[in-house]
Structure 1
Amino acid sequence: MEATTSLLDAAAVGDLVLLDPLTEESLLHTLQERFRRSDIYTYIGNVVISVNPYQSLPIYTPEKVQEYRNCNFFAVNPHIYAIADDAYRSLRDRDRDQCILITGESGAGKTEASKLVMSYVAAVCSKGEEVDKVKEQLLQSNPVLEGKCPRLAPCAQQLKLRQDCRHYGYLNRESSGLPGVDDAANFRAMQVPPARAWEARKLDQASGMEACSIAEPQELQEICELIGLDPGTLEQALCSRTVKARDETVLTTLSVPQGYYGRDALAKNIYSRLFDWLVNRINTSIQVKPGQQRKVMGVLDIYGFEIFQDNGFEQFIINYCNEKLQQIFILMTLKEEQEEYVREGIQWTPVEFFDNSIICNLIENSKGGILAMLDEECLRPGVVNEDTFLTKLNQLFAAHKHYESKETQNARRVMDASLLPQCFRIHHYAGKVTYNVTGFIEKNNDLLFRDLSQAMWAARHELLRSLFPEGDPQKVSLKLPPTAGFQFKASVATLMKNLYSKNPNYIRCIKPNETKTAMLFTPELVLGQIRYLGLMENVRVRRAGYAFRQLYGPFLERYKMLSPRTWPRWAGSDSPAMGPRALPAASVLLSTSLCPGLSVCLPTLAPAHPVGLEQLSSPLGPNGDRGEGHPCPMGAGSRRGVRSRVATADGHLRQVRRAYRRYFRSEARARLANFIYRRLVQKFLVGLGRNLPPLLVTDRTWPPAPYKFLADANQELRSIFYRWK
């Protein structure tokens, strides 16, 4: 029986901050039991944990949307709609830009979560049709924009992954199918440029000689007809290269490997620049008119962390981006929160957590990071290869605790057959990942021979011509283009700056099993994600910390009705010393303990105080007329004074009644009607005053008007009450 009770209790805990005892086992057990009951959402404070069920659940209906609309975040069951509503109301009411960061492994349900967030905002927004239109445009662009940060006041989609040309689908048509996708319908969207870029694969074939040549002139002719270019111009650009030295220009024939490189680089650039053009067209179609944009809600759904059997440059870049997102989560939810307590002069026992800044610095340091070393190797003169690049890394990071290779392992006398000589390993926050350096330099280089750029500029196809502006002979630049790694690092830096400028909301997606089986929960897999996502540390900080903070001015204005010293207007100082002293009953109503900081007032979780709302609604506050935090005993003299004041007030009331009777005897009919009207109004107001709804933020009840002629007044009073409340 005890085991059954513990299971029910675990499943009932919707916020892990309330979990007791707090251990890895209890946290995992709670997620598993809630998942078993199809409760896939759980809170850690205002962070939502989402466990992918790999099936549709009946929890996204229009009725659910209305249930979570304008509700307090913690007053409803955990749901992705709750965080979407909280972010939207903060955007609407506080006029502060929002971002919702959706993170997790590949297959954890991040894209589906972003769809649900955008669908909810479209449903509750006053301009729902416009938002829904933008949402549909963003969702339709998902196949193109796999790494994206859509904004429901949309902006440029800048973050993308440049892959090596051999991985592009147009070079491997036999593997380009996708079940459930209408290829014929989707293909029509790609008919803007009449270019079959995959045919470029067949242009250069080895002729048995060192110099390269075109093996299939007929296919060269077909491509030139499509792009509007003279075949001789394209053949010369593919098979030779112009070298300028001082005042002399030399035309050199390319070798077969150089011809392959030039061909692939051209195909990759056409594809990549067409992708950029397509992204810009999407941005243009969804952007707001100039001068209209005021508030922004960003929804970030990006590549999940990837650990494959063979990890290359693409996985390295993706995992670097995920490290940066984890860094944001650490800074905003763990590090900055604890630093704020120190700044506010609040006694605090620090909660230890892993800061992944050391890993980010290992990768992105501008002078001694892996990306900097890769760029240095790519741009240095002479023959470059991955071996010299790996040797530099081994020398530079020999003592780094988050980097290892075969050479560093040998130096440390570590035997590990899984780490090959051409590989290095990084200890990411999500685990150890082994990267094969083969192809790193080729994929990082984004160089295109100037002859090929000029050939594309000479094409009569307007779109293709516009994709190669550097081919204009009048705008020749000797500056080398930035590498792929440098461009991606710049995109990540721009994204991080964008996210730091907004109020963050977090959805942490968890993959419950590797096979994507519906409602299957693998504890070992989930436990690993709990650890590297830092969920335990997040819960500890939330439990030990202050879940809500507010400046003293708004705090006193919000709770001024709790003390005669602040009601109806607070005219005193907003200094830290006056906040809790002026409102000792605030902690009673909030069921919290108030901790005054230097600039904010911070309530934390505490047992509820026995004083009820009935006492708080007293005109003298819960503790008599002193407004202090202790009972106010009344002696015999005080009681006699109160009786005297009551008797005097009763005598005045009788005199008023006699005066009213004399007054209403003249012109009885009109005056009687007016009297009845006023009495009804008085009765209504007195009754309303006695039956005001509780002062709970989540309570939206209001007594109905007793008479039709009071309906408008009743509605206006309701608006005033909730505006004041």
Structure 2
Amino acid sequence: MSVKDGDGTTSQDGKAYELQIYPRLSLETASCCILRVTKEATAASVIRDAAETLGLDTRKLYVLAEVKECGGEEWVLESTDLPVHRVLLWPRKAQEQHSQKEGFYFLLQERNHDGSIRYVHLPTVGNEQESKRLVARGFLPPQQEDLEDLCNLPVLNEDSILDNLRIRFQKKKIYTYAGSILIAINPFKFLPIYNPKYVKMYENHQLGKLEPHIFAIADVTYYAMLRKHINQCIVISGESGSGKTQSTNFLIHCLTALSQKGYASGVERTILGAGPVLEAFGNAKTANNNNSSRFGKFIQVNYLESGVVRGAVVEKYLLEKSRLVSREKNERNYHVFYYLLVGASEEERREFRLLQPEEYFYLKQENFMIEDADDLRHDFERLQQAMEMVGFLPATKRQIFSVLSAILYLGNVTYSQKSSGREEGLDVGPPEVLSTLSDLLKVKEEPLVEALTKRKTVTVNDKLILPYSHSEAITARDSMAKSLYSALFDWIVLRINHALLNKKDMEESVSCLSIGVLDIFGFEDFETNSFEQFCINYANEQLQYYFNQHIFKLEQEEYQAEGITWHNIDYTDNVGCIHLISKKPTGLLYLLDEESNFPHATDKTLLAKFKQQHQQNHYFVPTPVMEPAFVILHFAGKVKYQIKDFREKNTDHMRPDIVALLRSSDRAYVRQLIGMDPGAMFRWGIIRASIRALAAFNEAGRRWAAKTAGVVRPNSRVPLGELQRSNVPIERMYRKNKNPKTRQLIPKNLLDTRSLKYVVGLHDRTTKSLLHLHKKKRPPSISAQFQTSLSKLLETLGKAEPFFIRCLRSNCLRRCK
């Protein structure tokens, strides 16, 4: 470090100030020079003295830059600027000793050969005029123009596209067009660009007239539907953590806001409330995303020809049931469990027998800690509000939370080999867990224990009861938990659809238009990939094919048909990968179903069949003989899948003895969840409501009779006491449901059989397959159900005009900077 006096100019107060000047090169090792200067010392004089002190070539041109690391700022001083005046604006500690470690210092920078300056900290220029001045003088590099539409780039290649997206993102412009496609980059923080005024600002504007925005896509879709009288759809795609779910929420918000022509039907409120409910029960924290959708959903918003919302339908795809019982490291179970356990009141904790999260096997993980308790409490309040918006009554919410608690207690059931006597089988416990589970599900403890430790097998001439092995018992326990949660999720989706239904949907005379928003799981490639990732990535292959068809193939065919001069664009066609997975008869999904039906087949025999049939397929990459895995070359890259549990997950149905146990429950809601018909719970609710109304009427009659005692009147009816002593089914139902204090589970406005039948017709009926209720016919596998629902989705998309939103992650660490 060297010290030298400045130019000797005397200041008015006669005081000298120290400036520490660092050279640009080798900042970590180079020593600084300290100059003693006055307030009136200019940047030019400081540069001259610093260059001499540091022994630099004084014939070269240098500039002095003020660095503020805390704000990421680096400002070049003009020759007449006064450095001391800048120092006096710094924090006191930085003024006393402005070393690099304090984050405030001066930097001596040599100009480049072209006259420009290379920066360590690119300046964030807040003043547009100051920015232009510095560019003109060569103190800042020329600003590269950011283009709102990538199609307008003068040179169109991967580098120019990425550079344009990066420049816009650094300016907090997260949306960019590529023609009619919107590219959305997840900033991992909330930006103030979604206020209602923005909905109004983008209303009825052509795409590209204003700055790119997701509201612009919603607006152009809405008005295209009204103008063309053609259904529209918006397909959102991107890898996990790229912001698809949040983009869906913004779209739904805008689409419902656009429809409010001076009045609202109330459906908008229900649609907006459905989002948080589905997220709570269907989203979870994963390695790549704190709010990852573990199911796919297609929300179809229906409109009258006037543009007013009149109803909506939610379709769900492939809930990841395995997450309920096992997860990868640093991942979580579904959000709703943590919301309930952290956010429940003391009264609710007692009612649902809640423990701490780390006390549940299904939630416990290594180094498990709840660090976001305040956020979880807030999210639980938000969930309660959203459930009310959808129409869940307080009694319904309590029933749901009680089932969630029972599912968690199922994970705490443990098994051990019987240690006494010659009797084979398992001991199950702990006793307090079984007692609590029995109480929450309202089933008797003895048949509960039997269902968790033994299986019933029906032969031609006899019925056998065989004890489970330890591994089989664990599988049966987990299967019961997964099936119960899946049935609960199906019921919630059905319930939301019933609330979203407008009775005009059942009148054929009412014309209807729709906009569908598809938010489906993004392409996944984890450290360990299983059956769920296989199905998810297959769905992404299908959507990529749909995208290619509309953006490339159909567009080029239209140009050629119209005689337009056009050079065909080569694009990656993924139809070969789709055929590998789903083409009959040797597609991987069909081979999986085939092996799932063979009682003696294993995951090993399944993998061998995969390799035998497709070892020459370009998209099927062979693995070493002993490795229990296979690799598929997807459009987004190679993914290795572990074959373990493929067969089990493909035939994940609840065993009939578990179904019989739950059907014996004294809790009506539990019986409804596992009913054969997904609409049975509503019909049963209607019957119970009628019986309770009859009981209330009888009670009122008795009270009136008591007041008018002594009045003689003819009575030819059977005495009520005798009526109650009869044992016909309707009387047993009456006695069970006559309590007028029993809370209603279904709002009065939904007790309508016509609307019920319509909603059940829309439902995908997976519950029946899930519960294995077919007596003669084997239920369809999970992959077969998924293929069917995916085909139905693609058929719906094929009948609509599509818009596409491509979501990207700004970084892999989910950081907001």
TM more than 0.5 = yes
Residue 90 in structure 1 maps to residue 388 in structure 2 = no
Match of 2:248, as an amino acid?
A: S
1:296 matched to 2:514 = yes
Q: Give 3-state SS (helix, strand or coil) of 1:14's partner.
A: coil
Contact in 1 for aligned 2:234/2:518 (Cα 8 Å):
yes
Residue in 1 that maps onto 2:609: 392
Residue 144 (structure 1) aligns with: 281
Indicate whether 1:321 and 2:539 are aligned. Answer: yes
Q: Residue 484 in 1 paired to residue 782 in 2? A: yes
Matched, 1:305 2:523: yes
What's the counterpart of residue 108 of structure 1?
242
- Residue by residue over 1:608-633, the C-alpha shift from the partner in whole angstroms, topping out at 9 and shown as x without a partner, is xxxxxxxxxxxxxxxxxxxxxxxxxx
Contact 1:470/1:476 (8 A) holds in 2: no
1:111-260 alignment to 2 at 5 Å?
A: 111-127=245-261, 129=264, 130=266, 132-141=268-277, 142-145=279-282, 146=293, 147-153=296-302, 154-164=312-322, 165-167=324-326, 171-174=361-364, 179=372, 180-182=375-377, 185=381, 190-193=397-400, 194-195=402-403, 196-208=406-418, 211-260=425-474
Post-superposition shift, 1:275?
1.1
Report if aligned partners of 1:405, 1:421 keep a CA contact under 8 Å in 2.
Answer: no
Is 1:54 matched up with 2:188?
yes
**Contact in 2 for aligned 1:227/1:461 (Cα 8 Å):** yes
Q: Distance in 2 between matches of 1:324 and 1:474?
A: 29
Q: Give the length in aligned residue pairs.
A: 507
- TM-score (norm. length: structure 1): 0.65
Residue 59 (structure 1) shift = 2.9
**Corresponding residue number in structure 2 for 1:356:** 574
Displacement after TM superposition at 1:271 (Å): 1.2
CA distance in 2, matches of 1:12, 1:475: 60
Aligned to 1:371: 589
**What per-residue deviation string (whole Å, max 9, x for no partner) do you get for residues 64-106 of structure 1?**
3333211121322222222111001012222221111111112
Corresponding residue of 2:793 = 495
Query: C-alpha separation between the residues in 2 aligned to 1:389 and 1:176?
Result: 39
Residue pair 2:267, 2:500 contacting (<8 A) in 1 also: no
Deviations 1:183-220 (A, max 9, x none): 65478665214331222234450225752343434533
Equivalences for 1:189-588 in 2 at 5 Å?
190-193=397-400, 194-195=402-403, 196-208=406-418, 211-289=425-503, 290=505, 291=507, 294-382=512-600, 384-407=601-624, 421-469=627-675, 477-519=775-817
Residue identity over aligned pairs, in percent, reads: 30
8 Å contact kept, 2:252–2:272? no
Residues in 2 aligned to 1:517 and 1:132: alpha-carbon distance in whole angstroms: 33
- CA apart distance, 1:116: 2.0
5+ residue gaps, structure 1, are 411-419, 520-725
Q: Secondary structure at the match of 1:181?
A: helix
Q: TM-score normalised to the size of structure 2?
A: 0.58
Structure 1 counterpart of 2:628, which letter?
Answer: Q
Secondary structure of 1:206 counterpart = strand
Q: Which residue type is aligned with residue 461 of structure 1?
A: R
How far apart are 1:2 and its partner, in Å? 12
Structure 2 Cα separation of the partners of residues 172 and 51 of structure 1: 34
SS across alignment from 2:321: coil
Counterpart of 2:257 in structure 1: which amino acid?
Answer: A
Shift of 1:280: 1.0
When structure 1 is superposed on structure 2, of 214-223 and 149-158 the one drifting more is: 214-223
Amino acid at match of 1:205: Y
Tell whether the 8 Å contact from 1:51 to 1:108 is kept in structure 2 after alignment: yes
Matches of 1:450 and 1:176, distance apart in 2: 38
- 1:152 Cα shift? 2.5
Give the structure with the larger strand fraction.
Answer: 2
Greater RCO (CA < 8 Å, at least 6 residues apart): 1
Classify 1:232/1:54 alpha carbon distance in 2 versus 1 (closer, same or farther; 3 Å).
closer
Q: Are 1:71 and 2:170 counterparts?
A: no
SS at match of 1:39: coil
Q: Separation in 2 of the partners of 1:226 and 1:516?
A: 39
Q: CA deviation at 1:354?
A: 0.5
1:200 partner amino acid: L
Equivalent residues of 2:184, 2:805 under 8 A apart: yes
Residue identity in the other structure for 1:381: P
Shift of 1:155: 0.8
Q: What is residue 622 of structure 1 aligned with on the other side? A: none
Tell me, what secondary structure is at the counterpart of 1:434?
Answer: strand
Structure 2 SS opposite 1:508: strand
SS in 1 for 2:151: helix
Q: Does structure 2 retain, via aligned residues, the 8 Å contact 1:102–1:110?
A: yes
Q: CA deviation at 1:178?
A: 7.8
Query: CA 1:396–1:35 in 2, change beyond 3 Å: closer, same or farther?
Result: same
**Is the CA contact (8 Å cut-off) linking 1:200 and 1:267 kept in structure 2?**
yes
Map of 1:532 onto structure 2: none
Question: Cα distance 1:469–1:118, how it changes in 2: closer, same or farther (>3 A)?
Answer: closer
- How far off is 1:505 after superposition? 0.7
Aligned-residue Cα RMSD (Å) equals 3.0
Q: Deviations over 1:630-654 (max 9, x none)?
A: xxxxxxxxxxxxxxxxxxxxxxxxx
Q: C-alpha offsets along residues 494-540 of structure 1, whole Å, 9 cap, x if unaligned?
A: 22122112111111111121112224xxxxxxxxxxxxxxxxxxxxx
State the secondary structure of the residue aligned to 1:22.
coil
CA distance in 2, matches of 1:423, 1:93: 52
1:597 aligned residue: none
Q: Please identify which structure carries the higher helix content.
A: 1
- The DSSP-based 3-state class of the residue aligned with 1:84 is helix
Give the CA deviation at 1:484. Answer: 1.9
- In the other structure, the counterpart of 1:665 is none
- SS of equivalent residue, structure 2 residue 208: helix
| Contact kept in structure 2, 1:137 and 1:286, CA below 8 Å | no
> In structure 2, what is the Cα distance between the partners aligned to 1:504 and 1:160?
23
Structure 1 window deviating more from structure 2 (250-259 vs 321-330): it is 250-259
